[in-house]
């Protein structure tokens, strides 16, 4: 247990009470679990607190824990340039997955969130431009979900795909995006 | 009789501007691959830029979930194809952290040596390609000449010019070949002079200087906000290098300078890379001087292939070990790791979640080019189209890494 772990933990506990759960320190990263609705406040706090200054967002990553029950997860990796610390924030999301966008905290979150939307269908609320980024417009389904076949679904362009129509999820269709 | 309508010309002083949509790419030499930029042009001014990526999307992360850890190495090669050894290294380090093992010291030196060769190879391309984008062709041809020497060295080590796949979890595939040391020493002697040649070619080129100095300035705060890393961020004056600040492998035994510039313009980004090549040569020379004898692979039959390949043909145990590792792989304990290295393009991170099986449950690649390319939004708004080419070239994205 290093000094920095206890510092980060106490500062977070002071500000957020018991809402943020600590997941321990492993392989150079301090991990925390946060409820999705607190992610923006937590990120802003970590970024702006003078003793922490996690000013660099390394990565946002979607995870599908199918068939576990809250199925989805958004994972944030933060880095503190002045202190050289790393923090991981994990938010478990219910189906259909929604989480507030952190594009207001870091501009770099824009494409990371678009990728997580494209691959997992995690909807980042408040994102200025939540479109698909890798797959083409009009593509149906979210390819990195665990129930999406590795070779895709069979159609006229993809004769080697799995049988069965692509799952249509009208409530998650791209057109609905505000 | 057809009615003749009189054509009316806009009055000379009346504003007659209409925004034009222009597709730059996906097949365009200055987009460094298959990047499509939808530009909204107001005359020569770029009013808005909307990058479309994904033309090269191969689903590396999805594929990795169905591959064993050893099989993933060739996938990582194909991320930043200019510098595969650093991608291999980043992935190997992440898996080794999960397993709680460390490669033998000699293997670490070989990996660092190869990663630095790869850094030179990657930087050489932009050293030549940025002037090429701006109309100066000569530098690229000279840079390719030196890059060929690196290709030859990598071929000598691994048998492959580009996709080396030389790292393994717990070491490297083979020991360095005979006759490698004199060859690489020769390269280290020649190369610093060649860097001076590029500088003489490009640094005195007034067109190049005019088109890069003061163009596409990114401040340090903007760079951090946009997630830039590597030489792109160091050119804005942020003194951050993962090799020094979170040393992995044997970087803490090596002396090298972290190159930073204050200007944050296209020229500074180019300059940073040129100077970094000198430091890489220094690192390689130190690796050669310090390289210890010893095994090149960890001594763990459950993870590493048999060192002596001939034993596979005459020893039952070695055969089983080889078969088991090839067909089934090795189990990695449950857990998750985020491990980042200083790749030539910036912070290359692998986030791996393991569920205890021989295949990763989730592998996320934090590709530096993907994030760096996004910064194009931040700098190119309301800029001349010609400047945007310079900015794009100086950010040095590799589309294979952007699209994963």
In chain B, pLDDT over 90 holds for what percent of residues? 35
User: In sequence order, what are the residues at sequence separation of 6 or more whose Cβ sits closer than 8 angstroms to the Cβ of residue B98?
Assistant: A27, B332, B333, B335, B336, B337, B352, B354
Return the higher-pLDDT residue of B153 and B309: B153
CA dist., res. B274 & res. A28, Å (int): 31
Give me the interface pTM, i.e. the ipTM. 0.87
CB contact under 8 A, A108 and B227: yes
Distance between A114 CA and the closest CA of chain B, angstroms: 12
Residue A25 CB burial class (10 angstroms; 0-12, 13-18, ≥19): middle
Confidence of residue B6 (pLDDT cuts 50, 70, 90): low
pLDDT tens sequence across B20-31: 888 887 877 777
pLDDT bucket at B118, cuts 50 / 70 / 90: very high
**In this model, does residue A175 exceed pLDDT 50?**
no
What ranges in B328-384 are assigned the alpha helix state H? Answer: 368-380
DSSP B189: H
Span A31-84, pLDDT tens digits: 889 998 889 989 999 898 888 889 999 999 999 988 888 889 999 999 998 888
Smallest Cβ–Cβ distance between A57 and the set B227, B377, B378 belongs to B227
Q: Does B301 score more than 90 pLDDT?
A: no
pLDDT-derived band at A169 (thresholds 50, 70, 90) equals low
Mutate to test the interface with A, among B62, B342, B350 (most CBs of A within 10 A): B62
A67: preceding bond cis by omega (within 30 degrees): yes
CATH 3.30.460.80 corresponds to the domain A3-176: yes
Q: What is the mean pLDDT of residues B261-290?
A: 91
Taking alpha carbons only, the member of B307, B304, B305, B283 closest to residue B294 is B307
Contact in structure between B139 and B131 (CB atoms under 8 Å): yes
* Local confidence band at B282 (pLDDT 50, 70, 90 cut-offs): very high
Mapping DSSP to helix (H, G, I), strand (E, B) and coil, where does residue B363 land? strand
| Residue range B100-123: mean pLDDT, rounded | 92
Determine the pLDDT at residue A74.
Answer: 92
DSSP codes of every residue in A124-159: EET-TT---SSSPTT--S-TTSTTS-TT-B-BTTBT
How far apart, in whole angstroms, are the C-alpha atoms of residue A26 and residue A7?
16
Name which of A81, A108, A144 is nearest B226 (Cβ-Cβ): A108
DSSP 3-state percent helix, strand, coil across chain A (nearest 5):
25, 25, 45
- Least confident span in A99-103, A152-156, B177-181, B251-255: A152-156
Q: Shortest Cα distance from B388 to chain A (angstroms)?
A: 19
CA distance B2 to B338: 74
What are the φ and ψ backbone dihedral angles of A85, each rounded to 5 degrees? -105, 155
* Chain B contact present for A75, CB below 8 A: yes
β A98-100/A123-125 pair status: parallel
pLDDT mean over B141-167: 90
Nearest-Cα distance to chain B for A41, in Å, is 17
Distance CA B324, CA B318 (A): 10
**Contact list, A75 vs chain B (CB under 8 Å):** 351, 364
What pLDDT does residue B24 have? 83
Q: Which residues are CB-contacts of B366 (< 8 A; sequence separation ≥ 6)?
A: A58, A59, A77, B338, B340, B347, B348, B349, B350, B351
**By C-alpha distance, which of B402, B326, B395, B401 is closest to B168?**
B326
| Predicted confidence band of residue A178 (pLDDT cuts 50, 70, 90) | very low
Average of per-residue pLDDT across B275-298 = 91
Are B374 and A108 a contacting pair at CB < 8 A? yes
pLDDT at B136 over 90: no
* Residues A106, B269: Cα–Cα separation, whole Å: 22
The confidence score (pLDDT) of residue A79 equals 92
Q: Give the per-residue pLDDT at A131.
A: 87
DSSP B378: H
Q: Kind and range of the H or E element at B52?
A: strand B45-52
Query: What's the pLDDT band for B382 if we cut at 50, 70, 90?
Result: very low
Distance CA A139, CA A142 (A): 8
Residue B350 has pLDDT above 90, yes or no: yes
Q: What is the pLDDT of residue B113?
A: 92
Which range among A38-47, A48-57, B3-12, B308-317 shows the weakest confidence by mean pLDDT?
Answer: B3-12
| Residue B1 confidence class, pLDDT cut points 50, 70, 90 | very low
Which of A81, A111, A112 lies closest to B224 in CB terms? Answer: A81
* pLDDT (tens digit per residue) in B200-232: 888 888 888 888 888 888 888 888 988 899 999
Query: In the predicted model, what is the mean pLDDT of residues B308-317?
Result: 82
Beta carbons of B54 and A143 less than 8 Å apart:
no
Q: What does the domain layout of chain A look like in residue ranges? A: 3-176
Give me the domains of chain B, ranges plus CATH numbers: 65-366 (1.10.645.10)
Contact B349, B91 (CB under 8 A): no
Lowest mean pLDDT among A167-176, B23-32, B251-260: A167-176
Using DSSP's 3-state secondary structure scheme, residue A17 falls into helix
């Amino acid at each position: 247990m290093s000094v920095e772990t206890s510092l980060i933990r106490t500062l977070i506990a002071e500000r957020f009470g018991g809402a943020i759960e600590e997941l321990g320190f492993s392989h150079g990263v301090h991990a925390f679990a946060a409820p999705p609705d607190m992610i923006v406040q937590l990120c802003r706090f970590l970024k702006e607190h003078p003793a922490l200054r996690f000013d660099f967002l390394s990565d946002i990553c979607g995870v599908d824990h199918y068939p576990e029950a809250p199925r989805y997860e958004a994972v944030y990796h933060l880095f503190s340039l002045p202190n050289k610390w790393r923090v991981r924030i994990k938010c478990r999301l219910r189906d259909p997955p929604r989480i507030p966008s952190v594009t207001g905290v870091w501009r770099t979150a824009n494409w990371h969130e678009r990728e997580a939307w494209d691959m997992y269908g995690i909807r980042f609320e408040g994102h200025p431009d939540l479109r698909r980024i890798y797959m083409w417009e009009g593509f149906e389904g979210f390819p990195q979900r665990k129930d999406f076949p590795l070779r895709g679904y069979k159609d006229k362009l993809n004769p080697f795909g799995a049988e069965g129509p692509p799952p249509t999820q009208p409530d998650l269709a791209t057109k609905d995006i505000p | 009789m057809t009615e003749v309508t009189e054509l009316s010309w806009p009055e000379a002083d009346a504003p007659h501007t209409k925004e034009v949509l222009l597709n730059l790419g996906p097949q365009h030499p200055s987009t460094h691959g298959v990047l499509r930029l939808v530009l909204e042009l107001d005359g020569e001014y770029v009013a808005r830029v909307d990058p479309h990526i994904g033309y090269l999307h191969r689903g590396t992360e999805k594929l990795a979930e169905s591959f064993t850890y050893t099989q993933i190495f060739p996938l990582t090669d194909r991320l930043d194809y200019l510098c595969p050894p650093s991608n291999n290294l980043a992935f190997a380090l992440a898996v080794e952290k999960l397993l709680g093992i460390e490669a033998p010291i000699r293997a670490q030196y070989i990996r660092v040596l190869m990663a630095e060769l790869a850094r030179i190879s990657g930087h050489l391309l932009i050293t030549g390609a940025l002037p090429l984008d701006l109309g100066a062709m000569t530098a690229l041809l000279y840079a390719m000449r030196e890059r060929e020497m690196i290709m030859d060295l990598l071929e000598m080590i691994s048998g492959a010019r580009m996709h080396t796949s030389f790292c393994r979890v717990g070491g490297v595939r083979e020991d360095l070949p005979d006759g490698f040391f004199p060859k690489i020493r020769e390269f280290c002697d020649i190369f610093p002079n060649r860097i001076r040649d590029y500088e003489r070619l490009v640094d005195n080129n007034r067109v190049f200087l005019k088109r890069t100095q003061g163009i596409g300035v990114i401040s340090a705060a903007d760079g951090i906000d946009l997630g830039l890393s590597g030489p792109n961020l160091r050119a804005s004056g942020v003194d951050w290098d993962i090799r020094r600040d979170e040393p992995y492998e044997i970087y803490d035994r090596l002396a090298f300078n972290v190159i930073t510039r204050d200007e944050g313009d296209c020229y500074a980004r180019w300059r940073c890379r040129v100077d970094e090549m000198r430091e890489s040569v220094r690192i390689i020379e130190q690796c050669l001087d310090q390289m210890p004898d010893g095994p090149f692979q960890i001594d763990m039959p459950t993870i590493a292939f048999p060192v002596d390949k001939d034993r596979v043909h005459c020893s039952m145990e070695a055969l089983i070990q080889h078969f088991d590792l090839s067909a089934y792989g090795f189990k990695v304990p449950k857990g998750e790791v985020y491990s980042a290295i200083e790749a030539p393009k910036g912070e290359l991170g692998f986030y791996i979640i393991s569920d205890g099986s021989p295949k990763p449950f989730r592998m996320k690649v934090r590709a530096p080019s993907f994030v760096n390319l996004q910064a194009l939004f931040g700098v190119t708004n309301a800029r001349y189209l010609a400047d945007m080419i310079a900015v794009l070239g100086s950010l040095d994205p590799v589309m294979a890494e952007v699209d994963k």
